[in-house]
């Protein structure tokens, strides 16, 4: 399958809507990192994102490339389609690079949306205090478990300096600090729910 | 039988907190070779819990046992020998070095100076600050201060180390090596009981618990680290 005109054309019809697919954004990042052809990008995608964005079908990468091309976020490098087995290479457009940066910064908002979703969903249990308490206890335990399973980084002088090791460490640290914030939130929520419980009884 | 057992412990702070109950029916067990971390917000009572577990403060109700013995009966005699409570602050006497400071506990137990120096050196080496032996307090970084505090505790060869907020105030990049040190002490067979106000301190704990509203909560399944005796020779002598 190729990142063909068909899928690109289809994407053009929707190119004013926000691009939500994390696969598309992750692929754009790989193109920015190093322009290449579809098959190589698919391989790199699997290596980089295999644990966080598993692909059910590698064909998704070709479709995603079509979407990116349709939105003018990537473009074909002229002259790379030549030869008996053409391998059109893609590079990011200036717009693609800018949008990618904005998307990364916008992840703060995504976290907020995810948190809101969680709290709203939790709200469904406010009339079932027993269930709510059980969920809070389970959530707290899950946070503890997450914190306990976070690896301890090696000493700076022994830690690998490779980019992938650094990315791994940065990811773990972000997660670890987020777990602390969640544990604090559970404490806050418990206190507030206790007050609510008191008001209802009073 | 666990090395440390807290059973239905209650503790109230009357003077400081207008009668606030800081520990409410707290039960806890810690085995040899386990790293147990208590997470809690400020004023959650986590430091009190550690002091009670170390036998420094008695509980108002409930029992604290160390190696099967009620600490109410033998508290102070265990401190520093079986139980090593790592002081939160480090205060060298004027003109004293890290080595002098590490030796103090040994000398106060009538260990001959030459032997005390040897043990203190070994402890400083174990905690990764042998190069700081001649340094004064002012010359140490925050991470080195924690390591010297630990060295002073380890010099007494305890079976359990109790350390309150080991990475508080330590530079971000220096925290993990300290946590790795605590993990390695547990892997050598010591029981390590620690507290933290940040999730960082939970990393690689065998047991992580939350202290909130006076209660200890959350007990994900223990994943025991392999137990290796710290001083196999000493253990053989003791059992023989």
Mean pLDDT split into 10-residue runs, chain B, 240 residues: 93 72 93 95 91 92 92 68 83 83 88 91 95 91 94 93 93 90 95 92 93 84 45 38
Higher-confidence position of B80 and A71:
A71
Report the mean per-residue pLDDT for chain A.
Answer: 85
pLDDT of residue A12: 45
Q: Which CATH architecture has domain B4-239?
A: 3-Layer(aba) Sandwich (3.40)
B199, B203, B217 member nearest A152 (Cβ) = B203
pLDDT of residue B233: 39
pLDDT in tens, A76-95: 999 888 777 888 999 999 99
Structure tokens that stand for A167 in this block = 């990315």
> What are the angstrom distances between the C-alpha of B99 and each of B116, B120, B121?
10, 6, 7
User: What are the chain A neighbours of B202 within 8 Å (beta carbons)?
Assistant: 144, 147-148, 150, 179
User: What are the chain B neighbours of A185 within 8 Å (beta carbons)?
Assistant: none
Q: Is the pLDDT of residue A33 over 60?
A: yes
The ipTM is 0.78
Kindly determine whether residue B202 and residue A155, on different chains, have CB atoms separated by under 8 Å: no
User: What are the chain A neighbours of B198 within 8 Å (beta carbons)?
Assistant: 177, 180
pLDDT of residue A200: 78
Q: Residue B230's closest CA among B158, B153, B162? A: B158
Kindly determine whether residue B180 and residue A152, on different chains, have CB atoms separated by under 8 Å: yes
How far apart, in whole angstroms, are the C-alpha atoms of residue A143 and residue B201?
Answer: 13
pLDDT in tens, A169-197: 888 888 888 999 999 999 998 888 888 87
pLDDT in tens, A112-158: 888 899 999 988 888 888 888 889 999 999 999 999 988 887 645 44
pTM of the model: 0.80
User: Which has the minimum average pLDDT: A31-35, A47-51, B15-19, B39-43?
Assistant: B15-19
């Amino acid at each position: 399958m190729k990142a063909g005109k068909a899928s690109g054309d289809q994407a053009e019809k929707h190119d004013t809507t926000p691009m939500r697919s994390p696969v598309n954004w992750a692929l754009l990042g790989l193109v920015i990192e190093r322009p290449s052809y579809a098959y190589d990008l698919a391989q790199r995608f699997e290596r980089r994102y295999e644990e966080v964005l598993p692909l059910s079908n590698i064909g998704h990468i070709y479709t995603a490339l079509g979407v990116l091309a349709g939105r003018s976020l990537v473009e074909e490098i002229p002259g790379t389609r030549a030869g008996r087995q053409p391998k059109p290479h893609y590079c990011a457009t200036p717009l693609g690079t800018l949008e990618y940066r904005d998307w990364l910064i916008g992840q703060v908002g995504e976290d907020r949306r995810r948190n809101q979703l969680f709290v709203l969903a939790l709200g469904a249990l406010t009339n079932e205090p027993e269930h709510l308490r059980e969920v809070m206890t389970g959530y707290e335990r899950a946070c503890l478990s997450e914190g306990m399973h976070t690896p301890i980084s090696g000493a700076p002088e022994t830690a690998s300096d490779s980019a992938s090791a650094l990315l791994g460490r940065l990811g773990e640290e972000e997660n670890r600090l987020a777990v602390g914030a969640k544990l604090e939130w559970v404490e806050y929520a418990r206190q507030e729910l206790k007050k609510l419980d008191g008001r209802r009884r009073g | 039988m666990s090395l440390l057992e807290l059973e239905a412990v209650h503790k109230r702070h009357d003077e400081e907190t207008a009668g606030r109950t800081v520990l409410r029916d707290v039960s806890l067990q810690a085995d040899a070779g386990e790293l147990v971390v208590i997470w809690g917000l400020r004023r959650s009572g986590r430091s009190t819990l550690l002091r009670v577990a170390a036998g420094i403060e008695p509980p108002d109700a409930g029992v604290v046992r160390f190696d099967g013995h009620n600490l109410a009966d033998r508290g102070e005699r265990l401190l520093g020998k079986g139980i090593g409570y790592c002081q939160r602050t480090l205060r060298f006497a004027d003109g004293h070095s890290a080595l002098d400071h590490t030796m103090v506990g040994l000398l106060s137990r009538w260990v001959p100076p030459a032997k005390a120096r040897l043990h203190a050196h070994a402890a400083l080496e174990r905690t990764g600050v042998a190069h700081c032996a001649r340094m004064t307090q002012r010359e140490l970084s925050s991470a080195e201060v924690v390591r010297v505090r630990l060295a002073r505790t380890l010099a007494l060869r305890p079976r359990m180390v109790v350390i309150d907020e080991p990475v508080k105030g330590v530079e971000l990049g220096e925290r993990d090596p300290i946590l790795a040190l605590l993990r390695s002490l547990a892997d050598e067979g010591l029981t390590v009981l620690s507290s933290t106000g940040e999730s960082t301190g939970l990393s690689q704990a065998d047991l992580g618990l939350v202290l909130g509203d006076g209660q200890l909560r959350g007990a994900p399944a223990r994943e025991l680290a392999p137990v290796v005796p710290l001083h196999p020779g000493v253990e053989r002598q003791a059992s023989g």
